[in-house]
Structure 1
Amino acid sequence: MTETLYTEEELILKKTIRDFVNIELTPVVAENDRTGNFPSKPIKDLSGLGIYGIGIDESYGGVGGNSQQSSIVVEEIARVCAASSVTYIAHHSLAMYAIHKFGTKEQKKRFLPSMVNATTLGAFCLTEPATGSDAAGIETTATYINNEYLLNGTKTFITNGSIAEIYIVFAKTHQEKGTKGINAIIVDKSKSKGIDTQFLDGKMGLRSSDTSQIFFTDVKVPQENLLGKDGDGFKIAMSVLDSSRISVAAQAVGIAQGALESALSYSKIRKTFGQPISNLQSIQFMLADMSTRINAARLMTRHASQLKDQGFQYTKEASEAKLFASECASYCADKAVQIHGGYGYFQPSYAERAYRDAKVTEIYEGTSEIQRLVIARQILKDA
């Protein structure tokens, strides 16, 4: 299927990323998952392939390209290491995308080149302890005083939170204006005082990625770091999430693909009743269902990417892809564990890790319930 789905250039990209992760991540992914060790060298070395520059103008150090290409990158990384793929998504599809789409030329020139080569990593700071799906209810404040914003508040479940240098922070400047009182502000941690981070230990999955809580206490940020116009923060957040949902869909497809490959491989070598279990119809049906759902999820993700790249409205399609692909990942991980039997219940099997990693794709970037709301509202509006 992939040979006909992708262009020759995209197939080369796909192979390049696959070769890299097979060599650099496969040997260490199980141990990193066990210890929580962040794969800093592979994450940095990926910049040598130019993948952080996809979709970024050459004038800011990027390589051009589009959403379809970044989806290929995410899927191939997630196929081996979902934790590394979420690091890429938070940095590239959230933080960098926000600056590239909504930033001024000066902001792009100041921040993007170092992010393209992964000298600095980015993080997207929206979620708070009391507000998840209700992004409009954020409590972090950005008080405007003497050409500066004074940030106060707490962000939580932030991917790259402890290791990022560049934060995209969403905070309320005009409390009385509701969502129109929210601003998006670029915070350079290296030039700011009053920022503390706490690594959040105990995650079920994605254990080798950094997830942290961030505390902002009277953090002074210059006015020129305002992203977009005053009051555009909520609109920026929703736009960025629309885009990043395509990346999460691609991540889920990668997890599911890895689960299928693991199950296929095991089913051919595991024997019972004198034959490989792949000969058993019950196993074949599970493999068939996994393959069918993965191909459907990949096509939905591809379709959403194409709409985005061609300048069409893609909110509904991105939510559909994210919803279907994330539930596909959980389904395929579950079936992979079932096919592995007892061995799939123990580390360091891929099936066991995928089972834990897949679940969060149904939660972040908008829960499955939020996706259904987005889809329903859009189809009712269009009816």
Structure 2
Amino acid sequence: MDVFFSEPLVALRDTVRRFAEREILPRAAAIDREDRFPRDLYKAMAELGLFAVALPEAAGGAGLGALGACVAMEEIARCSAAVGNAFAIPVEAALFLSEHGNARQRALIPGILAGDIIPATAVTEPDHGSDVAGLRTTARREGEGWVLNGTKAWVTLGGVVDALMVFARTGAEGQGHRAMSCFLLDGASPGLIRGKTEDLLGMHGLEDCQITLDGVRAPLDALVGPENGAFKMAMGNFNFSRLMMSAMALGIAQAGFEDAVAYARSRKQFGGPILNFQAVQFMVADMSTEIAASRLLVHHAARLCDAGLPIAKEAAQAKLFTTDMATRNVSNALQIHGGNGYSREYRVERLFRDVRLAQIYEGTNQIQRLIIARQVEKEMA
């Protein structure tokens, strides 16, 4: 694979792999078990410069783009999907504020890159997930500022957030995507109420919670980008985040594959290792092939993104194919472990729980199919 990577990308991959295997992997099971945000690991990733990986050099970043972010994500998620998920959030926030933020908001980027300011994004609501344009959280002008009311669900890092990007309706009800705006709120704002940490199937340690906005006041310059123009901004951000989730699923699948092969080599049945059985060999062969295909699909979409080309279809394809692949193949990895795979003594049990989110996060895979079909229809018109 090195022949397709620049020297900086090879160096990034190798550096992140060493860090993840040395610092993240030994703690991954404890993070899952204790379900507490690993702030020290988060800070360590920042100190390694990982949050700046995709940001252009002109904006203070490493300039390795979406491909660099995907390469780093795969290595981190291979050791802990939850830490990989935490890695994605500041990477995306820095890019979003760099592209859309005003001077005050962009001034927060160095703190985000340093790990001192923890960002989060609040889009989903209890009754609105896939229907982004139907959100009900409102922001109204009052005096020299804004007042926000509503409830946001599934806010990753919501329990520890310092700077919260909230998508809210600023126009009349029924205007849909034409009335959506984005606001950057201080996590300590009066009226910003954090609910209890959600008790999730997997992805533990991310302080995922519901956030209620009860008359939260914000200055006029809390608005990110143009008023009523946030839907297009959100869709662009979703394209990038789908690449990140694809790379996360790829890392989980790679971990499951490695565990399955190692176990099949060591597990003896009927006088030899189970890797000698054709049924297991075929499962391993399919896993290897599908992981390779997914990696090419993710990297292709990332390269298009870095070239400044539209990637709505390609990001959706990468997310759909890779997350379906990872879910299926981690299940097969658990099957190869037999009864031991059902025990928390083996990593594959955690991988099995963590990977399930991949088909839901950043737009369900049913929504990805709709996006792909609509893009194909446009191309063929």
TM over 0.5: yes
Distance in 2 between residues matched to 1:32 and 1:55, nearest whole Å: 26
The Cα offsets for residues 19-63 of structure 1, whole Å up to 9 and x where unpaired, read as 111111111111221121222111110112111112324565422
Residue 8 of structure 2 corresponds to residue 23 of structure 1: no
Alignment partner, residue 94 of structure 2: 96
- Is 1:188 the equivalent of 2:180? no
Task: Describe how 1:1-383 pairs up with structure 2 within 5 A.
Answer: 2-58=1-57, 60-93=59-92, 95-108=93-106, 110-176=107-173, 177-190=175-188, 192-383=189-380
Cα offset, 1:231, TM superposition: 0.7
Q: Mind listing any 5+ residue stretches in structure 2 that lack a counterpart?
A: none
Q: In 2, distance between residues paired with 1:178 and 1:323?
A: 26
Per the normalisation by structure 2, the TM-score is 0.97
Counterpart-to-counterpart distance in 2, 1:323 and 1:227 = 30
Aligned AA (1:362): Q
1:313-359 Cα offsets, whole Å, 9 max, x none, are 11100000000010011011101100101110110312111111111
The number of residue pairs the alignment matches comes to 379
Paired residue type of 1:234: F
Tell me how far apart the structure 1 counterparts of residues 95 and 156 of structure 2 sit (CA, whole Å): 15
Structure 1 gaps, min length 5? none
Deviation string for 1:61-111 (max 9, x for gaps)? 422221100101111110010001111112222x22221221124421x21
* Greater Cα shift, 350-359 or 55-64: 55-64
TM-score in terms of structure 1 length: 0.96
CA contact (8 A) 1:161 1:212 kept: yes
Q: Conserved in 1, the CA contact under 8 Å of 2:197 and 2:209?
A: yes
Following the alignment from structure 2 to structure 1, what is the Cα–Cα distance between the partners of residues 283 and 196?
A: 38
- Identical residues among aligned pairs (%): 37
Q: Is contact 2:159-2:197 (8 Å) kept?
A: no
Say if 1:208 and 1:106 are closer, same or farther in 2 by CA, change over 3 A: closer
Q: Using the alignment, how far apart are the partners of 2:109 and 2:229 within structure 1?
A: 21
Counterpart CA distance in 2 for 1:81 and 1:180 is 38
> Which digits, 9 at most, give the CA deviation of each residue in 1:265-287, with x for residues without a partner?
11111111111111111111101
Secondary structure (helix, strand or coil) at the match of 1:128 reads coil
Contact kept, 8 Å, 1:61 with 1:116, in 2: the verdict is: no
Displacement of 1:3 after TM fit? 2.6
Rate the CA distance shift 1:170–1:88 in 2: closer, same or farther, 3 A.
same
User: Is 2:54–2:64's contact at 8 Å kept on the other side of the alignment?
Assistant: yes
CA distance in 1: counterparts of 2:303 and 2:49, whole angstroms: 21
SS of match in other structure, 1:247: helix
Counterparts of 2:81 and 2:216, CA distance in 1:
33
Moved more, 173-182 or 138-147: 173-182
